Amino acid sequence: MTVSVLHSDDDLPAPAAPPLRKGGRPTAARKEAIDMAILAAGREQFLACGFDATSMEAVALAAGTAKGTLYSRYPTKEALLRAVVADRLEAWQADAAARSGPIPSDLKQALHHLAHTILDSLLSEEIHAFQRVLTSSADQDGKLARVLHEVGHRTAIAALAETIVRGTGNFAAPPRDPTRVAEMLMAMLTGWYDAHARVREVTLEEAKAYADHAVDVIFQGRAAW
C-alpha cells in the first residue's frame, strides 16, 4: 500500500499519442508515448466518470489511439485500472522521495521514513479520489477492491518487509517473519488513519507524530520479531 497531492495540471486533458509514421513500425519512443497517453486517459476517465461509467472506447478516444491498440495492452477494464493505479503509485512514491529524500540506512530511521510516506500518501486527495472510484462502483465480487489492495497495500508492506530484512542483517537472531512485522506496522498506520479520517480532518503533522510513535512501539518489540 498506499503514497502526493494533485498538481495544477491534473485537470488538463490526457495527452494524445503522436501519430504513427507511414510505412514504419512503431518506435520504442512511440510505444512509450502510447502507453503514457493510455494511462493518462484512463486516469482522467476513471476519476471523472467512475469505473462503471468509463468505457474502453472513451479511453481510446481520449488517448488518441485505436481500440485494438488499447485492448492489445489491456484486455479488460480491470487490467487498465490496475495499470493506472500502479502508474500513479510509482508517481506518488517518486513525489514522496523527492520531498523527503532517500531511505536512511539505519533501520529505525528507515521505518520512520516509510511510515511517514505511507501516512502522507493516505492524506493525498488523489488517493481519496481513486478510493471513491472503487467504492462507488458495482464491485460485487470485490475485484476492484483487490486492485487497490494488491497494488497499493501489498506494495507498501513489501517495502517495509524488505527494509526490515535489510536492516536486521547484523542481528544475532534475524526476524522470524518480517512480513508479519510489516503488516502489524501497516495495520497500526492505516487503522489509526481510517478511524480518525471518518469523523474529522487529519493533519500531516499529527499523522507523522502518530507514525513516529507506532514505529517506536514496533521497534521496542524487536525481541518478538
**What is the CATH classification number for the domain harbouring 209?**
1.10.357.10
Could you give the angle at which helices 28-49 and 56-63 cross, rounded to 10 degrees?
A: 130
114 domain-assigned: yes
Q: What angle, rounded to 10 degrees, do the helices at 178-197 and 204-220 form?
A: 150
Q: Nearest-5° angle of CA 54, CA 55, CA 61?
A: 110
Kindly state whether residue 61 falls inside one of the protein's structural domains: no
Residue 91 inside a domain? The answer is yes
Q: How many CA atoms lie within 13 A of 157 on its CB side?
A: 19
Confidence bin at 17 (pLDDT 50/70/90):
low
> pLDDT tens-digit profile of 112-156?
999 998 888 888 888 888 878 877 777 667 777 777 777 778 888
The distance in angstroms from the start CA to the end CA of the chain is 21
165 or 145: which leads in pLDDT: 165
Whole-number Cα distances in Å, 181 to 1, 8, 117, 176: 15, 38, 17, 9
Band the pLDDT of 9: cuts 50, 70, 90. very low
The secondary structure of 153-165 as a DSSP string is IHHHHHHHHHHHH
**Residue 47 belongs to a domain:** no
What span, in angstroms and rounded, lies between the C-alpha atoms of 190 and 156?
11
User: What is residue 183's predicted lDDT score, i.e. its pLDDT?
Assistant: 97
pTM of the predicted model as reported, rounded to 2 decimal places: 0.72
Query: Could you list the residue range(s) of the whole structural domain that residue 139 is in?
Result: 79-224
Q: Cβ neighbours of residue 158 under 8 Å, at least 6 residues apart?
A: 179, 182
Angle between helices 107-122 and 204-220 (to 10 degrees): 140
Residue 87 counted as domain residue: yes
Taking the C-alpha atoms of residue 163 and residue 2, their distance in angstroms, rounded to an integer, is: 16
pLDDT, tens digit, 9 for 90 and up, residues 168-198: 988 888 899 999 999 999 999 999 999 999 9
pLDDT tens track for 27-38: 888 899 999 999
Mean pLDDT of 51-77: 95
Confidence at 16, pLDDT banded by 50, 70, 90: low
Give me the pLDDT at residue 5, please. Answer: 31
Count structural domains, the chain.
1
**What integer best gives the mean pLDDT of the chain?**
84
Please report, rounded to a whole number, the percentage of residues in the chain having pLDDT higher than 90: 53
Residue 27 resides in a domain: no
Cell of 153: 497495500
Whether residue 185 is contained in a domain is answered as: yes
* Model pLDDT, residue 10: 45
Q: Is the pLDDT of residue 49 over 60?
A: yes
